[in-house]
Amino acid sequence: MQKIRNIAIIAHVDHGKTTLVDKLLHSSNLFREGEESGDLILDNNDLERERGITIVSKNVSIQYKDVKINIIDTPGHADFGGEVERVLKMADGVILLVDAFEGPMPQTRFVTQKALGLGLKPIVVVNKVDKENCRPDEVYESVWELFFNLDANDEQLEFPVLYGSSKQGWMSTDWKKPSDSFEPLLDAILEHIPPAPTNEGTLQMQITSLDYSSFVGRIAIGRVARGVIKENQPISLVKRDGKIIKSRVKELHTFVGLGKMKVAEVKAGDICAVVGIDGFDIGDTIADFENPEQLEVIHIDEPTMNMLFTINNSPFFGKEGKFVTSRHLHERLYKEMEKNLALKVVPTDSADAFLVYGRGILHLSVLIETMRREGYELQVGQPQVILKEIDGQKCEPVEILIVDVPADVSGKVIELVTQRKGELLIMESKGTLQHLEFEIPSRGIIGLRNNILTATAGEAVMAHRFKSYEPWKGTIPGRLSGVLVSMEKGQTTAYSIDKLQDRGRFFVDPGVDVYEGQIVGEHIRENDLVVNIVKGKQLTNMRASGSDDNTRIAPAIKFSLEESMEYIQGDEYIEVTPKNIRLRKIFLKEADRKVNAKKFQ
């Protein structure tokens, strides 16, 4: 019987999870001498590499002292909490990674709470002890305090702790005495993480994640909780609602190194991929053919935000994308819902528009960015928080916001947050930085990051996590200034941009195609202003001295997708195509905007 340990790696975003997995893979001699493996081996899609974050959890395994260690790398960002919650079901223990300077962050708290609640055994790794200003001993104390506050049991409170630097490739039980390898961590996994339980009896396996192959279709991934699963075995698929579908396993694969290996059977305790089952969803149970027994269904926290997704109906419709119709949009969103558990899609009165519910702006923007890279053209509306009625009272989601900022600009941050109905809870010094904690409605966080980064010259570090639904806090002021809207369709000219510069800042460069109703800049006043940005200079053969000055144009402001989502108001859309992100008014003609103005007040 093969000895198995199943372990998930959890941490706040940017504390070094994926780098740690890289080093574990290297230390188990998975790569040949001199083989080029690169870094961040598991962040293998373009979006993950560009943003430097993990979005989808991954499975790999290594061999160490005749024990197979299945490692699950999880995302660290709050918006992908749904991903973390379900994959923890496959683990028997967790490695909690904490930065030696920052200590436990809001996201650490969120995933640690889930792991402790499932009764998983933790190993704490204080990472990045090679950094300046690091404070490993204080961080250890604050992790213990966090566990205590999260009601960890006595066994969980006696967690082993290791110190090290994933980047430099060493771990040790004493941070003042660096070792030269990762063996202390691997030994701690074998010693402290319980072996995977080998439960005898009829087959039970919960599907906790899925993969897709263009050859065999959808592949179910999960841990065998009881019994044995074999190739060609007839099984019952128990759906979340208790309905049973009879099916058959075609192929079985276990995770070996970075890839998969085909096997004839998998025993309880190991993680495997099952090919050949149709119609399954995450959370379903693969059970015995004759006596199917269902495992407890995975519960995922509710979404807190929604956005309207609709087809692109601007004058530039269909010029840049491959998939532009409502049928394409419908199919793609429902396909996403199969694997993205925290996402919900609801049809609206219009056949062309869908309400998409998600965990936050990053969660939704990653979906939109993935779709535009696949060739979709669509428009999205302003993100809205989801309101609930609790005991006859209108309630909204409230979050804990943590900002670390240089002390001399902390006053600006407090002012910006309190304007948006935030309440200051904690203010303390942390090294050279001021550590601020607020309670703020989720609505207040939309659009706040840009303002804080501008006010602090980019030095603020922000993190937030969902706390609970609380009574409505009142209206929050929206965008302070109006926008400049194009009056005509055509190509922008340097001459007209130059002449209009005193009216505001522009989002477009000269020589760009625009259409009537497109937002081309930000007005200096509170109202919207319609401008003619395509007018050229009247050229005559008369010349006057001084009238032919060169135009001096300030560079255009370029918004990322998230910045655009935070910028727009209720009467505006973002037009997203594979090549461009444009802002526009929902009603392109000025007369229509005036008629419908009351709808958006």
Do residue 82 and residue 211 come from a single domain?
no
Report pTM: 0.76
Boundary of a domain, candidates 192, 227, 243: 192
Residue 478 is assigned to a ligand binding site: no
Residues 86 and 165 in one domain: yes
φ, ψ of residue 184 in degrees (nearest 5): -55, -35
Asked if residue 398 and residue 252 are part of one domain, the reply reads no
Question: Is 67 a known ligand-binding residue?
Answer: no
The answer to whether the annotation marks 283 as part of a ligand binding site is: no
- 412 a known binding residue? no
The answer to whether 559 touches 567, Cβ cutoff 8 Å, is yes
Instruction: Establish whether 23 is an annotated binding residue.
Output: no
CA separation for the pair 218, 220 (Å, rounded):
7
Round to whole Å and give the CA distance between 115 and 156: 10
User: 238 near 291, Cβ under 8 Å?
Assistant: no
Q: What is the pLDDT of residue 40?
A: 45
User: Is residue 19 marked as binding?
Assistant: yes
Q: Token pair of 445, please? A: 């966080």
Residue 65 zone, left/alpha/beta (φ > 0; ψ -120 to 50; rest) = left
Q: Are residues 95 and 164 in the same domain?
A: yes
> Is 15 annotated as contributing to ligand binding?
yes
Q: Is 18 annotated as a binding residue?
A: yes
pLDDT at residue 537 in the model: 77
| Domain boundary, last residue among 258, 288, 318 | 288
Strands 529-531 vs 483-486: parallel, antiparallel or unpaired: parallel
Q: Is 130 assigned a ligand-binding role in the annotation?
A: yes
Same domain, yes or no: 466 and 484: no
583 bridge partner residues? 574
Contacts of 479 (CB under 8 A, 6+ apart): 447, 567, 569
The identity of residue 490, as a single letter, is: G
Q: Residue 14, annotated ligand binder?
A: yes
Owning domain of residue 111: 3-192
Whether residue 323 contacts residue 377, with contact meaning beta carbons closer than 8 Å, is answered with: yes
Tell me how far CA of residue 392 lies from CA of 304, 388, 395, 399, 591, in angstroms.
19, 10, 9, 22, 40
Q: What are phi and psi of 126, to 5 degrees?
A: -90, 110
CATH number at residue 418: 3.30.70.240
Mean pLDDT, 10 residues at a time, the chain of 601 residues:
79 72 68 42 52 64 84 71 74 87 75 84 86 81 86 86 83 79 85 83 85 78 88 88 88 83 87 85 85 81 85 90 90 82 86 88 86 92 89 88 87 90 88 85 84 83 82 83 91 89 91 93 91 81 57 84 87 92 92 85 69
Q: Domain total for the chain?
A: 4
Boundary of a domain, candidates 231, 262, 288: 288
